[in-house]
Amino acid sequence: MEQLYNSSHEIIAKLSSNLKENIAIIETLFRDCDDVVKKEFQFIRGSQRISAYMVYIDGLVDTEMIQDNVIAPLQEKEPVLQEDVFASFFHSEIDAADIREDSNFDSLVNSILRGDTVLFLDGYAKVIVISSKKLPIRTIQESKTEAVMRGPRDSFNESVRIGTALIRRRIKDPKCKVVQDKFGERSRTDYALVYMEDLVPDGLVEQVKAELNAYKTDAIYDSGMLEHFMNRKWYSPFPVIQSTERPDKVAASVLEGRVAIVVDNSPEVLLLPATFNTFFQASDDYYTQWSVASFARILRYIASILAIGLPGFYIAITSFHLEMLPTELLLAIAQARSSITFPVVLEVLLIELEFELLREAGIRLPGPMGNTIGIVGGLIVGQAAVEAGLVSTIVVIVVALAALASFTIPNESFASAYRLLKFFLIALSAVWGLYGFVLGMLVLAVHLSGLTSFGVPYMTPAVSANGQYESIKDFILRLPIYTMKKRPIFTKEGQRNRMRRL
């Protein structure tokens, strides 16, 4: 069997005009594959007896469609007197909208594995590929990770074709291109690049393709794995590629000149380039009043600072710089810690560990039970720790506030970076106090300023003001939509005008 493949796991066997030879290869390829249906039969056309062979995978195809649109018409139709029997079958006798010819063994086997039905005819070194997919997928549902108060409720599912259809539904323009390819030598996972031909910057699509073609691997199972292959800044906890489940967000990003990558078997679509600012933007920011959206955006930026810096700042002040606190607050902290034997840093780490365990347990347990564990566990364990004298009430408040602030960040992968770097600032603050805290914040600022995402500065428009005054309108404040007359930096030069007043 190994001799049928080359080093890249492509089938090198040649399609033969002898049906028996083709059947032997198919039987060898799909040996011990009990879900593969292989049916050999014959038809009479005129004075000819035509031998045929049909192959498909049970569970991936619409068997009713195969029976009604392929088998039944071939059995019931009057003989068609044509010299070319293959052309007769292809053009006249198979009642299917999506059929094509194929003469390559590797591509026809790939079609079978994707849910198509392949029909071999004796005497022809080519086959008829019939689109008969009926994949086991979820229906379109509301996004659970990016819920909104106002706006569309649909979200992507695990089908790459439904994903591109949801984008097409919103962008009815032939300049919206969908280029499909495969990744993974064994999984052959389909993915599609979606972009606007006239808005995408020159060379961006080619750069994305080059990044994807730079690796060969057995399989990928989710868009997150594909993201890792394209992220050269592996040491950075901050994502430079945005992911989302919302079709409206993808459509808006594509119309800004960005590239979307829809991956089969994954409900998350990748968007690139991405900047620091895009991770704070929620879909319903653009469906509500600009003042309300701006207030929510400001809250998110403040919450991000609290999520990453509040525990470390508390440790730095209470351990090294008590003289900075007002007398009343200092006395309140001293009273709360009067029965605590552990240093402040151990208090914070103990409660942080508790919250992280509860968060992880809430994710892994079933929905209602997970919510109960998160709420009840936090109350019971936190209260018990305070009563046992392990931690003070102020530490519980500080850690809980930081955890609550992290939940306001709309993107989960971006919020995870804050959860991780929070411990980095805790360590520096425990060693050097406020100086360590400031040093840690400076290191993060320098790191973020040095990041790029496919040529776009990560901190745009904060560190790249040249020509980016329009982007500031959708930065910390979200100004009225009618004022955003130009597209952001992602768009191709010369194509940034998107609105004009009539």
What is the spatial distance between Cα 340 and Cα 343, in angstroms, rounded to a whole number? Answer: 8
Task: Using a pLDDT cut of 90, give the percent of the chain over it.
Answer: 34
| Average of per-residue pLDDT across 241-257 | 93
- Give me the pLDDT at residue 439, please: 96
User: Tokens in use for 493?
Assistant: 């030069």
pLDDT digits (tens, 9 = 90+) for 328-377: 888 888 887 777 778 889 989 988 888 888 888 777 776 666 666 666 66
Q: What per-residue confidence (pLDDT) applies to 355?
A: 83
Model-level pTM?
0.88
Q: How many residues are listed for the chain in this entry? A: 502
The answer to which of 185-194, 256-265, 338-347 has the lowest mean pLDDT is 338-347
Highest mean pLDDT among 132-146, 242-256, 326-340, 456-470: 242-256
pLDDT above 60 for 246:
yes
Say yes or no to pLDDT of 492 above 50.
yes
CA 172 to chain centre: 23
Give pLDDT, residue 80: 54
Q: In angstroms, rounded to a whole number, what is the distance separating the alpha carbons of residues 205 and 195?
A: 8
Q: Are 204 and 454 in contact (CB under 8 A)?
A: yes
Mean pLDDT of 31-52: 83
- What share of the chain has pLDDT > 70, as a percent? 92
- pLDDT (0 to 100) of residue 1: 45
* pLDDT-wise least confident of 148-152, 156-160, 237-241: 148-152
Of 241 and 388, the one with more pLDDT = 241
Residue among 203, 266, 206, 290 at smallest CA distance from 480: 290
Instruction: Determine the angle formed by the axes of helices 247-254 and 160-170, rounding to 10 degrees.
Output: 60
* Per-residue pLDDT tens digits for 50-91: 888 999 999 888 888 888 888 877 776 555 555 677 887 777
Q: What is the mean pLDDT of the chain?
A: 86
Quote the CA–CA distance of 41 and 267 in Å, as a whole number. Answer: 40
Of 341-345, 380-384, 458-462, the least confident = 380-384
> What sign results for the dihedral spanned by CA atoms 444, 450, 452, 456?
positive
Q: Is the pLDDT of residue 438 over 80?
A: yes
Domain ranges of the chain: 2-130, 160-274, 290-456
Region 250-275: mean pLDDT is 94
**DSSP-assigned letters across all residues of 37-71:** EEEEEEEEETTEEEEEEEEEETTTB-HHHHIIIII
The pLDDT, as a whole number, for residue 147 is 81
Terminal C-alpha separation, the chain: 68
pLDDT of 191: 93
Q: Quick one: pLDDT band at residue 432, thresholds 50, 70, 90? A: very high
Query: Is residue 150's pLDDT more than 80?
Result: yes
Helix (H) or strand (E) holding 320: helix 290-320
Closest listed residue to residue 277, CA positions, set 300, 257, 259, 305: 300
Task: Give yes or no for residue 485 having a pLDDT over 50.
Answer: yes
**Span 383-412, pLDDT tens digits:** 777 777 778 888 888 988 998 898 888 888
